[in-house]
Amino acid sequence: MRSSKPTRSQKKRKLKSAQLGEVYAVLKKSFGHQAWWPGDTPFEVMVGAILTQNTAWTNVEKAILNLKKAKKLSFGALRRISKKELAQLIRPAGFFNLKADRLRCFLDFLDRECRGDLQKLRLKAMPDLREKLLAVKGIGPETADSMLLYALGKRSFVIDAYTRRIFSRHGLVPVTAHYETWREVFTRALPGDLDLYNDYHAQIVRTAKNYCRKAPRCESCPLCRFF
DNA sequence: GCCCAGGTGGGTA
DNA sequence: TACCCACATGGG
C-alpha cells in the first residue's frame, strides 16, 4: 500500500504527555537501544550539530570527512585556517558560508569559555551553560541541546523537526508551538536519566526516518497503536 | 527537474 | 509577537 496521511479515525486519539514513557518503551522494543550521535569525539559531535542545521546527515558526513582528511577536525586546527578554507572543506554540508561563520563564532566561544578544552566546558553547570551556548550567534535551541546532550553529557532534551512531526501528528503539541513549550512537555513527563534522553531522541530520529516521513507510513509504524 | 533534509537570524508589519 | 526569507548541497 502506498504511504498515506493518517486516516480520520487514526487522528481521533490524542497522545498525552503521561504516555511519553510508554512511547519510549515501544520504540526501544522495536529498534533496540540506540545510544547515539554519529561522531567519534565530543568536538566532532559539536561541529556536526552546527553542520546538520536544516541539512541531510549524509551531506554532513561528507563535510566531516573532508575536515578529517585535511586534519582540521580539532579546535586548534580549525582556529588556524581561514574562513574561506573552512567554507570549502564544509561545502558538501550546504549553507557553507553561513556555517563557516557559525563554526568560527563557536570556536570563539570555546576559546573564551575553556580555551578549547571540552573537559573544562563539561564541568560548567546547567542551565548557565545552556544560556551561554544560546548566546552564541548561530547556535539556537536545538543545536545547543544537541551539544549539551550528546557532547557534554547534560540532561537536556532535544526537540527537532522529527520530534515535532511525530508528536504533532499524534496530537501531543501543536507543531507551531515554541521550542521551549515542546521541551518542557518532554522534560516534565520524563524525569529520566541522561541515557534515557540520549536514547529517546535517537529513537525519534529512527522513527521519523523509517516511518513518520513527510509521507507517513503509519500501517507499519510501531507508534500506530497510539492513534 | 523537483522535492526534501536533525535551523537560525535578520527584516518587516 | 508573528510571519517571511536567505542561506546551498546532494540524494531520491
pLDDT in tens, A63-76: 999 999 999 999 99
By C-alpha distance, which of A222, A211, A225, A184 is closest to A4? Answer: A211
Separation of A1 CA and B9 C1' (Å): 42
- List domains and CATH numbers for chain A: 8-36+157-226 (1.10.1670.10), 42-151 (1.10.340.30)
Q: How far is CA A26 from CA A9, A21, A131, A172, in A?
A: 21, 9, 33, 17
Q: Which residue is nearest to nucleotide B5 (CA to C1')?
A: A56
Share of chain A above pLDDT 90, in %: 90
Residue-wise pLDDT tens digits, A177-224: 999 999 999 999 998 799 999 999 999 999 999 999 999 999 999 999
Å from A9 (CA) to C7 (C1')?
40
A150 touches strand B (CB under 7 A): yes
Q: pLDDT class for A149, splitting at 50, 70, 90?
A: very high
For the four alpha carbons of A189, A201, A130 and A194, in that order, the dihedral sign comes to positive
Give this prediction's pTM.
0.94
Query: Which nucleotide comes closest to A55 if you measure CA to C1'?
Result: B5
Burial (CB count <10 Å: 0-12, 13-18, 19+), residue A67: buried
Contact (Cβ atoms closer than 8 angstroms) between residue A95 and residue A63? no
Residue A164 has pLDDT above 80, yes or no: yes
